[in-house]
Amino acid sequence: MINFSINKTLFLQALSTTKRAISSKNAIPILSTIKIDVTPEGVALSGSNGQISIENFISIKDENAGLLVTSSGSILLEATFFINVISSLPDVTVDFKEIEQKQVLLTSGKSEITLKGKDADQYPRIQEMAASNPLVLETKLLKQLINETAFAASVQESRPILTGVHFVLSENKELKTVATDSHRMSQKVMTLDKNGDNFDVVIPSRSLREFTSVFSDDIETVEVFFANNQILFRSEHISFYTRLLEGNYPDTDRLIPTEFNTEATFNVANLRFAMERARLLSNATQNGTVKLEFKNGIVSSHVHSPEVGRVNEEIDTSAVAGEDLSISFNPTYLIEALKAIDSEQVVIRFISSVRPFTLVPEGNEQGFIQLITPVRTN
Amino acid sequence: MINFSINKTLFLQALSTTKRAISSKNAIPILSTIKIDVTPEGVALSGSNGQISIENFISIKDENAGLLVTSSGSILLEATFFINVISSLPDVTVDFKEIEQKQVLLTSGKSEITLKGKDADQYPRIQEMAASNPLVLETKLLKQLINETAFAASVQESRPILTGVHFVLSENKELKTVATDSHRMSQKVMTLDKNGDNFDVVIPSRSLREFTSVFSDDIETVEVFFANNQILFRSEHISFYTRLLEGNYPDTDRLIPTEFNTEATFNVANLRFAMERARLLSNATQNGTVKLEFKNGIVSSHVHSPEVGRVNEEIDTSAVAGEDLSISFNPTYLIEALKAIDSEQVVIRFISSVRPFTLVPEGNEQGFIQLITPVRTN
């Protein structure tokens, strides 16, 4: 029967991280619990929603944890409730003791709280993976790739494969990351410092967003392991599993145009704020679009909602070249594309009013390109 | 036709304050607009939800407003939308110009936004009050009275009068403020520095909560005017009207017990945290109560939920006197009562397990007393 004592604050942090994989509204009731496995080496906390699983290990060697294990064992506890109880405790230390019939007695200061738990055998097995030959990535780099692409993935389940982000490693060091919802696309191509085994996987964008929340910036590197239908991101204390999407990801390379007729360079923030103003009114129009006009080297944005009103605005450019153009599109796509760009300036290139246009950060040493499809109006 | 220019930040602040009276889901569509009245003296912004009305005046004399009025007039604009548009504007200054057919052209930097407005004649009249002989109160004091009592008002409409806070001025300077939902009561009695005309009114607690948000701490005093069914709180720039509740407020004085059998002094924060722990489990019990036990000078709290678990906790006291006692009640009432107390220590006095108990801040120079009714168990 389990018996350990631990620093309350550190325990709560580890529980909150694990909780990110746990939904209180899961169709499988047992998945609303958190699994606690205690061994002489430390305490492992596991949670899963069937898609993502997180295991967080607190070692007896971690000085901040003040962990003292007297007796080992496993138990399940209702995750949300257990975390609320731990966070309410008065003292800096919690004693966690399993008593008769899968009950846990928590003691902290003068407070004694008894909670009913469940048999750990009821918990589904989190798939173990053969931990060999991982790809080692900087956490910061992986989070940047996710920020630059995952937002462009589809949120609709009509084409499930498009709800994921396509990660491809070829020639052992060429990493391509791409997402598209068929209206816009975001792609980043880069060369890794170290070689790795080639792979071609589609990771649910929702899992990737959770990844960025779970792996804090103080975790420098993350090991990536692949199995048939799963991927594991692992740091010293945290194992983050997610299922992969099955199916063939569309060939996005052929979508990227190479010849253009109009080109302009904008300040990213200025253009984004202009699009946010335009969106206030485009939301009240039938097709929800803003019109961008290029005329004699002047760029301007226009929205006209018969009910609400209109926006007309000249947008500053640092360079304009090529043919005059008038093109309409959903301003949200441009706003989200601009949010993903870290540079101060962006170069936008157009073919015509009916062909996708591209965005690249000025300089574009980073191999980062985005595509937005216009809307035909008339 | 209206024409003025104004500092964007200050305009936005005044709009946001006025917006507090406006609900976008009002059954009367015209009340989702904000009324803008421009005169050579300044700009008045009015909003109302039928219960509360707020008028905010921006004077041409206010240097921070940078207000320049070229032409007067009145117009109505959809409140939420107009505020979003103003907040999106690029420049520090906004030019507001009424053009043909109740349309407004907003110019800021290179951005031109045209909005459709409505005729100001469609707006209901906010009742004007004879502004004579106001009661002048410190804003800080009034907000304190509200914080100490309004939470105890009822949120259920079954007895509408109990959704208000009873304010009574007698003998021209004795102010009593009291609220009860029939399960608990909070009352503050104080003597004002200056004399005023006696009054006896019941103000909706919801209006009072809005009052505390609208009147910021830099507004030192507020003038209070009464009419038959309305009250007006007025500062230099803001007029805040609210309707009063009609009916007789119950006589609460007779509820306050004067003799007790058990008494204890607690640290307010410690007791509150103990009750928050108890509430985590009492929420999962049938009657939702915590049991407080006084035995041989030791105070302890107990909750037992057959499904979830139990809490047993000894609670530190700085003094205990009188008979042993066991009393059950809803911990939320005690938590909210303790939140309203500013002192470090609270004295709680009991008659028996079936009679209301009282809370007073230690010292009680402030004339502040609260009452909580226990729940009979078994």
Residue A44 pLDDT: 97
CA torsion sign for A31, A89, B328, B162 is negative
User: Edge to edge, what strands does the sheet with A298-305 contain?
Assistant: A325-329, A290-295, A298-305, A309-315, B111-116, B103-108, B93-99, B3-7, B68-71
Per-residue pLDDT tens for B183-207?
A: 999 999 999 998 889 999 999 999 9
Architecture of domain B256-372: Roll (3.10)
**ipTM score:** 0.88
Q: Which of chain A's residues have a Cβ under 8 Å away from the Cβ of B269?
A: none
CA gyration radius, chain B: 25
Q: What is the 3-state composition of chain B as percent helix, strand, coil, each rounded to the nearest 5?
A: 25, 40, 35
Q: Which of chain B's residues have a Cβ under 8 Å away from the Cβ of A266?
A: none
Who among A110, A115, A311 is closest to B313 (CB)?
Answer: A110
- The residue-averaged pLDDT of B280-309 equals 94
CA torsion sign for A358, A147, B84, B4 is negative
Lowest average pLDDT, out of A61-70, A346-355, B25-34, B313-322, goes to B25-34
Tell me the nearest-neighbour CA distance from A54 into chain B, angstroms: 25
Burial of B203 (0-12, 13-18, 19+ CB in 10 A): buried
Is residue A26 left, alpha or beta, with left meaning phi > 0 and alpha meaning psi from -120 to 50? beta
Per-residue pLDDT tens for B206-225?
A: 999 999 999 998 999 999 99
Q: Find the helix or strand (DSSP H, E) in which A231 lies.
A: strand A230-234
H helical segments located in chain A: 8-19, 79-88, 139-149, 205-214, 268-282, 331-339
d(CA B84, CA A282): 13
Side chain identity at A95, as an amino acid letter? D
Task: Report how far Cα B265 is from the mean position of its chain's Cα atoms.
Answer: 29
- The residue-averaged pLDDT of A209-232 equals 92
- The residue-averaged pLDDT of B126-136 equals 77
Per-residue pLDDT tens for A157-199?
A: 899 999 999 999 999 999 999 999 999 999 999 999 988 899 9
Residue A365 pLDDT: 63
Q: Do B85 and A277 touch (CB under 8 A)?
A: yes
Per-residue pLDDT tens for A64-73?
A: 999 999 999 9
Residue B23 pLDDT: 87
Q: Nearest 5°: CA angle at B302, between B301 and B308?
A: 140
Q: Where are the domains of chain A?
A: 3-122, 135-253, 256-372
Mean per-residue pLDDT over chain A, rounded: 94
Residue B125 pLDDT: 83
Where residue A377 falls among pLDDT bands split at 50, 70, 90?
confident
Please provide the DSSP assignment of B296-309 as one string: TTEEEEEEEETTTE
Residue A378 pLDDT: 64
Q: Do A110 and B315 touch (CB under 8 A)?
A: yes
Residue B263 pLDDT greater than 90, yes or no = yes
Q: Which of chain A's residues have a Cβ under 8 Å away from the Cβ of B309?
A: 103, 113-116
A135-253 and A256-372 share one fold? yes
Residue B180 pLDDT: 97
Residue A131 pLDDT: 64
Residue B365 pLDDT: 63
Residue A59 pLDDT: 97
Q: Which of chain A's residues have a Cβ under 8 Å away from the Cβ of B84?
A: 280
The yes or no reply on domain B135-253 and CATH 3.10.150.10 is yes
Name the residue with higher pLDDT: B227 or A241: A241
Where residue A126 falls among pLDDT bands split at 50, 70, 90?
confident
Residue A26 pLDDT greater than 90, yes or no = no
- The residue-averaged pLDDT of A2-6 equals 98
H helical segments located in chain B: 8-19, 79-88, 139-149, 205-214, 268-282, 331-339
Residue B131 pLDDT greater than 70, yes or no = no
Q: Do A116 and B308 touch (CB under 8 A)?
A: yes
Q: Nearest 5°: CA angle at B239, between B234 and B242?
A: 95
The top-scoring range by mean pLDDT among A114-128, A351-365, B140-154 is B140-154
- The residue-averaged pLDDT of B134-153 equals 95
Tell me the nearest-neighbour CA distance from B137 into chain A, angstroms: 39
Q: Which of chain B's residues have a Cβ under 8 Å away from the Cβ of A108?
A: none
Given 3.10.150.10, 1.10.490.130, 3.40.50.720, 1.10.10.10, which CATH number is that of A3-122? 3.10.150.10
Residues of A with a Cβ under 8 Å from any B Cβ are 78, 81, 84-85, 88-90, 103, 110-116, 270, 273-274, 276-277, 280-281, 307-316
Percent of chain A with pLDDT over 70: 98
Residues of B with a Cβ under 8 Å from any A Cβ are 78, 81, 84-85, 88-90, 103, 110-116, 270, 273-274, 276-277, 280-281, 307-316
- The residue-averaged pLDDT of B289-316 equals 95
Residue B41 pLDDT: 97
d(CA B291, CA B357): 14
The values of phi and psi at residue A40, to 5°, are: -60, -20
Percent of chain B with pLDDT over 90: 88
Q: Do B110 and A313 touch (CB under 8 A)?
A: yes
